[in-house]
Each structure stands twice: as C-alpha cells, then as structure tokens.
Structure 1
Amino acid sequence: MKNALPKICYWCGMKLTDETNNREHVPPNGFFPKGYREKLITVPSCQEHNNKFSLLDERFQIYIKGLGTNLVAIDDFKDRVVRGLNREQNKFLVASLSEKSFYVDIDGEQRLVMEIDHGHSQTFIEKIIRGIYFYHKEIPAEGIVQSFSPLFQSPNINTEELADFLLDDLSPEFMIEGDYSNPDVFKYRYQEVHNVFVLVMNFYKGAEFIGWILPNNYTSVNA
C-alpha cells in the first residue's frame, strides 16, 4: 500500500496541509467487516470530498451487500447493516429504501429487489474510480468518468451484453492486478490504452462494475 501520496485532494486537486488532509477510503471503510480491514487503500481528500458522499456510501453498501454474492456480504448485512438500519437516526433512510423496494418472482421464489437511482450509482462508482486512479497515477483524474454494472440495469442499455463485449475486448495479458489485500470484499484490475483508463471492480466476489475515464478531447478516432 502506498503511504506517500501527494498532499492534494484526489478529486479536486486542492492543496492540503497536515491539518486539512482527510483520508478517503477506496472503497469506503464501511464495506469492510471486522477481519477484512488489512491494508486498506486510502487517498488524500479535502473535507468537502471526504464528507460529501457519506449518505451515498451508506446506501450503496446496503445495495451491494444485499445482493448476497458471498458469505462475507451476507453475514455483514445481517449484522452491521441491520443494526444500523434499526437506529433512530436512520428511520428516513429506511423509509426511502422501503419506497423503492418490491418483491419479484424469480424461479418460483419471491425475492426482494431494490430500485437504484442510476445517477446515484454513477456518482458512487465515480468516486471509487477517481480514488483508484489517483492512487496509481498520483494526480486527479481529468476527463469523462463513466461506469455501469451488469447487475444494475441502466435505461436503454443491455448491461449484460455490454459487459460481455467489453470484457472480451480487454486483453487479460494487459490488465494489471490492483493493489488490494481483501479480495473477499473488493478487488480490481486496470489498464490504460490510448489515454483511456479502464477499471474492472468486483465487490464480494460477484458484484462487478466496469468503469473508465475518457480524456476531455477523446473521440472515436482515438480508439
């Protein structure tokens, strides 16, 4: 894990001092249960970009752990997530989640499904993409940040087909394994081609997201 990163905010590039330097976990610390907190990635952050997305972080650990893709996610959902939702200060969050939850029949079983705001999903994953980019490049990302997941449907896009297409196109021999220490919670791999930074992230061995950063001057001719 890197310890000597530049003292500037990973998102906005603001210069930081020892007093103003906050540490942003990538992904957020709340995703890591006890026993899975070794050598977590952190990047320097200004106060605004350290605190701005706290509610979004809380929502998305509920969404992603709720998928139950491995025992780590299931156990932590039943333990910390449920205890957190029972707190008085989270009653509005619970009400909001309830409004966007419904049951569907999947292979004869009734399963709880949560409707996820596409814009919120993009913002949450953008935060992680920017954090990992800064961790490796040591400069804030400039350009267009985009992402999607085959698990979360996007308007007018067949995300499963798009994921298969992109993953087939990403040459395994050029993908670099990320600097992670808790693969049961989070792992990633990345590559940079024609100034496009591509990132494949996996939460709890099943919730996969694909993201990229396009340069501001990027056109299809660059591809």
Structure 2
Amino acid sequence: MNANSKIKSEDRCYWCGKQAVGYDHVPPQNLFPKGHRNELITVTACKEHNQELSKIDERMRINLIMLSHKSNAARKLFNEKILKGIQRKESKGLGIDIANNIFEKPEGGGYIRVNSKHLHIYFEKIIRGLYFNIYRKHFQGSTHHFWNGFNDLSLSANTHFYYFEIEKKYSENWINGKCKNKEVFDYKYYYCNIEKQFFVIMDFYETHKVIGISIPEGRDIEDYGLDIEKHLNIKLQ
C-alpha cells in the first residue's frame, strides 16, 4: 500500500471499517530513525484511529526506547529526537513526568511505569493494522497482548501460560513478515482456523517480544486458558 497514493471512496479504516481519510504506519513511523525506514507498512485509516492516537504513539515510543538501551537503533533515535525534544522549554512537563515514572532496581537496571490503557490501545492498533495489511480487511472482536516486560495481573496464570506457549504450539505454522527494518521491528503471524484467532509475535528493537492476539466476538480471553498443572502432568506421564 503506497502512502503517497490518494484515498479512494471505497478505502476503509483498518480498525473500524469506516471511510478512510488518510494513511497510518504500522507500527508508528516515529519508532524508526533515519536510515531505518525502508518500505514501512502503511494502512488506510479514519481520523479517529490515526491522528487522534498520535499522543499515545509518542508516549509509547519514549517508553519502548528507554527500555531498549542495548539497541543501536533505539539509542540513535533517543539521541536524535527524544533527548532534544524533552529538553525544550515547552516539553518540561513531559520530561518531569518521564523522570517520575522511572524506578531503579537495587540490583541494577530499572523499569518504567506505563499507563495500562495507553499500552493496550497502542498494541491493539498494531495488531489490527498488521491483520489488515495481510488480509485486506478488518476483524470483528477484540485484541489482547502479552509482553515479556509487563504482566497483566488481571488475567489468570493459566491464560498467561497458554499464550506464552503459543509460539511453540504453532512452531511449524508461523509465517514471517516481510520487514525491511528488522533492527527496529519484525514479526511473524499465524491464523488459527480452529480457534478463529489471529496470532502475531512482534519484536521491537531486537529486545521486546510482544504476543498479539485477536479474540472473536462472543468469546473471552479466559476461554482460552490452559490449566498449567494438567499440562505438566500430561508431559510427565
């Protein structure tokens, strides 16, 4: 899909299916420093699911980059864009907010407190965008994600276990995405006809693995939980 081509009347939003008004990058273009923007993925989008999510895109970029200090691409973007940006007078509040949400661990390293609502919207945008880019249609239902750096405490341990086993379960079925900037973003995907679910495993800055899933209408994420004890007992027999 060419971001420079004109929007047509039949073009639909990747998220909701409404009339599209422009193009959006999946994942957001602001994750990619100069020299790492070869053939970025774009999808058609309505205003609500593009321009109105820009603030979340920017905040999540900062979070991802600050947690990716071992990545050369992330470090380059931090020095070129983020550091200069938060040093501006008009961005003083953002700089203070970021500093207040960074916590150091006694043993070294640290972590960042992230707005869970923004986190969910951010990854939902990417999951839906990738699905649309692959299948040229948007899906009904909801999404969820599992990130190796964050745990959703509202979900059962069985659900966490089930989805972190997904990569092994479908080891022979994954299809590699055609990414040209793997040092920034890469992914592989699989659509399970039995469960009617889209699975995608995303890699950001060669540091963060995020599992994205779609959940069909009328189903709940806990419907797919796998009992850990039963699973281990079967393996031991």
Q: Deviations over 1:164-219 (max 9, x none)?
A: 423222x2221111121110000000000022000100001111100100110347
Tell me how many residue pairs correspond in the alignment. 213
**What does 1:66-145 correspond to in 2, within 5 Å?**
66-67=66-67, 68-106=69-107, 109=108, 111-145=109-143
Partners of 2:160 and 2:138 in 1: CA distance: 30
1:36 CA displacement: 0.4
Name the counterpart of 2:146: 148
1:156 CA displacement: 5.2
Name the counterpart of 1:63: 63
Q: Supply the AA of the counterpart residue of 2:17.
A: G
Partners of 2:82 and 2:161 in 1: CA distance: 32
TM-score by length of 2: 0.81
Structure exhibiting the larger radius of gyration computed from Cα positions: 2
Superposition RMSD on alpha carbons, in Å? 2.4
SS in 1 for 2:105: strand
Name the counterpart of 1:25: 25
Gaps of 5+ in 1: none
Q: Is the 8 A contact 1:129 1:199 kept in 2?
A: yes
Name the counterpart of 1:181: 180
1:58 CA displacement: 0.9
Q: Supply the AA of the counterpart residue of 2:181.
A: N
Q: Is the 8 A contact 2:173 2:190 kept in 1?
A: yes
Name the counterpart of 1:172: 171
Q: Are 1:12 and 2:12 counterparts? A: no
Q: Is the 8 A contact 1:150 1:160 kept in 2?
A: no
State the identity %: 30
Gaps of 5+ in 2: 227-237
Q: Is the 8 A contact 1:149 1:163 kept in 2?
A: no
TM-score by length of 1: 0.86
Moved more, 201-210 or 91-100: 91-100
SS in 2 for 1:36: coil
**What does 1:33-48 correspond to in 2, within 5 Å?**
33-48=33-48
Q: Is the 8 A contact 1:122 1:148 kept in 2?
A: no
